[in-house]
Structure 1
Amino acid sequence: DDLGERDGSRFFTITGNGELTLTDGLTIRGLARYRRAKSEFDDAALDREGRGGRDRYFLWRIAPRLTALDGRYQGDLEFGQVDNQRSEWNHPDTNDSFGGADTEASGLRTFAAWRNRLEVRPSDAVKATISAGLEWQKDKVNAFDGYSDALSRSEEQTAFYGLAQVTIVDRVDLNGSLRHDNPESFDAVTTWNAGGVLHLPEVGGRAYVSYGTSFKAPTLSERFTKSAWNVGNPDLVPEHGKSFEAGADVGTEVGAQGWVGLNVTYFDTRITDLIEYDYAALANRNVGKAAIDGFELGVQAKIGRIADLRVNYSRTNAFNDATGDQLLRRPKHSWSASLTLNPIERLSLSADWYRRGQRMDVVYDDSSAWGPGGGYVGNGLVTAYDLVSFSARYSVTDSVELFANMRNAFDQTYEEPDSYRGAPRSWQIGTRARF
Structure 2
Amino acid sequence: MRHLFKAALFAATSLAIAPASAEDLVVTATRTPAPLERLPARVDMIDRASIEARAIVTLPEAIGAAAVQSGGAGQQTSAFLRGASSKHALALFDGVRLNDASTPNGQYDFGLDTLGGLDRVEVLRGPASAVYGSDAVGGVVNLIPRSGAATAFAPFAEAAHGAFDTSRVLAGAAGTAGALSYGLSGEWFDTEGYDLVPRRMATHTGDADGARITTLTAAASAQTGAFTFDLLGRWRESRTAFDTFSGGPFFDLRADDPNLQNEATQSLWRLGAAAALSQALIARLSGGQVRSDRSESDGGVQTSAAESGRDFADLSLNYTHGAATLTGGLAFERNSIDTTPPFANPLSAGEEQLGAYLIGQFALSENITATAALRGDDYETFGTHTTYSLGVVADLAPLRLYASYGTAFKAPSLSERFETSFFNIGNPDLRPEESHSWEVGADVRLIETWRVGASYYQTRIDDLIDYSFAALRNINVGEAAIDGAEAYVALAPASWADVRVAYAWTDAANAVTGQPLARRPEHSWRFDLALAPVEQLTLALTWTYVGERNDVTYSDAGVFSSANGLVDSFSIGAIAATYHVTDHADLFVRVDNVTDETYEQPAAFAGTPRAWTIGVRARY
TM-score scaled by structure 2? 0.59
Q: Which amino acid aligns with 2:514?
A: G
Between 1 and 2, higher relative CO (CA 8 Å, sep ≥ 6) is seen in 2
Residue 212 in 1 paired to residue 399 in 2? Answer: no
Match of 1:15 among 204, 210, 217: 217
Structure 2 Cα separation of the partners of residues 159 and 174 of structure 1: 23
Q: CA deviation at 1:387?
A: 4.2
Residue 143 in 1 paired to residue 345 in 2? Answer: no
Farther off after superposition, 61-70 or 183-192: 61-70
Residue 64 in 1 paired to residue 273 in 2? Answer: yes
**Residue aligned with 2:416, SS:** helix
**Residue aligned with 1:149, SS:** coil
Match of 1:266 among 442, 456, 460: 456
Larger radius of gyration: 1
Query: 1:30-45, aligned counterparts within 5 Å?
Result: 30-44=231-245, 45=254
Farther off after superposition, 412-421 or 423-432: 423-432
Q: CA deviation at 1:266?
A: 0.7
Residue 419 in 1 paired to residue 604 in 2? Answer: yes
Residue 334 in 1 paired to residue 524 in 2? Answer: yes
Q: Which amino acid aligns with 2:413?
A: T
Structure 1 Cα separation of the partners of residues 347 and 619 of structure 2: 41
Pair 286,413 (structure 1): closer, same or farther in 2 beyond 3 Å: farther
Q: Which amino acid aligns with 2:399?
A: G
Residue 194 in 1 paired to residue 384 in 2? Answer: no
Q: Which amino acid aligns with 1:28?
A: F
Pair 266,52 (structure 1): closer, same or farther in 2 beyond 3 Å: same
Pair 48,157 (structure 1): closer, same or farther in 2 beyond 3 Å: same
The answer to whether the 8 Å contact 1:366/1:375 transfers is: no
The answer to whether the 8 Å contact 1:401/1:431 transfers is: yes
Match of 1:48 among 248, 257, 261: 257
Q: CA deviation at 1:245?
A: 0.5
The answer to whether the 8 Å contact 2:491/2:499 transfers is: yes
Match of 2:306 among 87, 97, 105: 105
Matched residue, 1:74: 282
Q: CA deviation at 1:180?
A: 0.6
Residue 88 in 1 paired to residue 296 in 2? Answer: yes
Cα RMSD for the two superposed structures: 3.2
Structure 2 Cα separation of the partners of residues 181 and 420 of structure 1: 39
Which has a greater percent of strand?
Answer: 1
Q: CA deviation at 1:194?
A: 0.9
- Which digits, 9 at most, give the CA deviation of each residue in 1:14-37, with x for residues without a partner? 21111122x222111111112122
Structure 2 Cα separation of the partners of residues 64 and 73 of structure 1: 14
**Residue aligned with 2:415, SS:** helix
Q: CA deviation at 1:396?
A: 9.2
Matched residue, 1:124: none
Pair 432,56 (structure 1): closer, same or farther in 2 beyond 3 Å: farther
Q: Which amino acid aligns with 2:417?
A: R
Q: CA deviation at 1:249?
A: 0.3
Q: Which amino acid aligns with 1:175?
A: T
- Which digits, 9 at most, give the CA deviation of each residue in 1:308-342, with x for residues without a partner? 33221111111222222222222211222333345
Structure 1 Cα separation of the partners of residues 334 and 256 of structure 2: 40
Structure 2 Cα separation of the partners of residues 417 and 151 of structure 1: 30
Q: CA deviation at 1:117?
A: 1.4
Pair 84,101 (structure 1): closer, same or farther in 2 beyond 3 Å: closer
- Which digits, 9 at most, give the CA deviation of each residue in 1:192-244, with x for residues without a partner? 1111111021xx23000011211111222333334567554433211111111
The answer to whether the 8 Å contact 2:577/2:589 transfers is: yes
Structure 1 Cα separation of the partners of residues 423 and 520 of structure 2: 24
Matched residue, 2:359: 163
**Residue aligned with 1:4, SS:** coil
Structure 2 Cα separation of the partners of residues 18 and 321 of structure 1: 47
Q: Which amino acid aligns with 1:63?
A: G
Pair 423,275 (structure 1): closer, same or farther in 2 beyond 3 Å: farther
Q: CA deviation at 1:188?
A: 0.5
Structure 2 Cα separation of the partners of residues 63 and 404 of structure 1: 40
Match of 1:323 among 513, 517, 540: 513
Structure 1 Cα separation of the partners of residues 367 and 584 of structure 2: 37
Pair 184,280 (structure 1): closer, same or farther in 2 beyond 3 Å: same
Q: CA deviation at 1:160?
A: 0.7
Matched residue, 2:35: none
The answer to whether the 8 Å contact 1:60/1:81 transfers is: yes
Structure 2 Cα separation of the partners of residues 354 and 303 of structure 1: 22
Pair 349,69 (structure 1): closer, same or farther in 2 beyond 3 Å: farther
Unaligned ranges ≥5, structure 2: 1-202, 246-253
The answer to whether the 8 Å contact 1:316/1:333 transfers is: yes
Residue 154 in 1 paired to residue 344 in 2? Answer: no
Query: 1:371-410, aligned counterparts within 5 Å?
Result: 374-375=559-560, 377-390=562-575
Q: CA deviation at 1:356?
A: 2.6
TM-score scaled by structure 1? 0.82
Q: Which amino acid aligns with 1:180?
A: G
Matched residue, 1:289: 479
Q: CA deviation at 1:261?
A: 0.8
Unaligned ranges ≥5, structure 1: 93-99, 122-126, 368-372
**Residue aligned with 1:148, SS:** coil
Pair 151,36 (structure 1): closer, same or farther in 2 beyond 3 Å: same
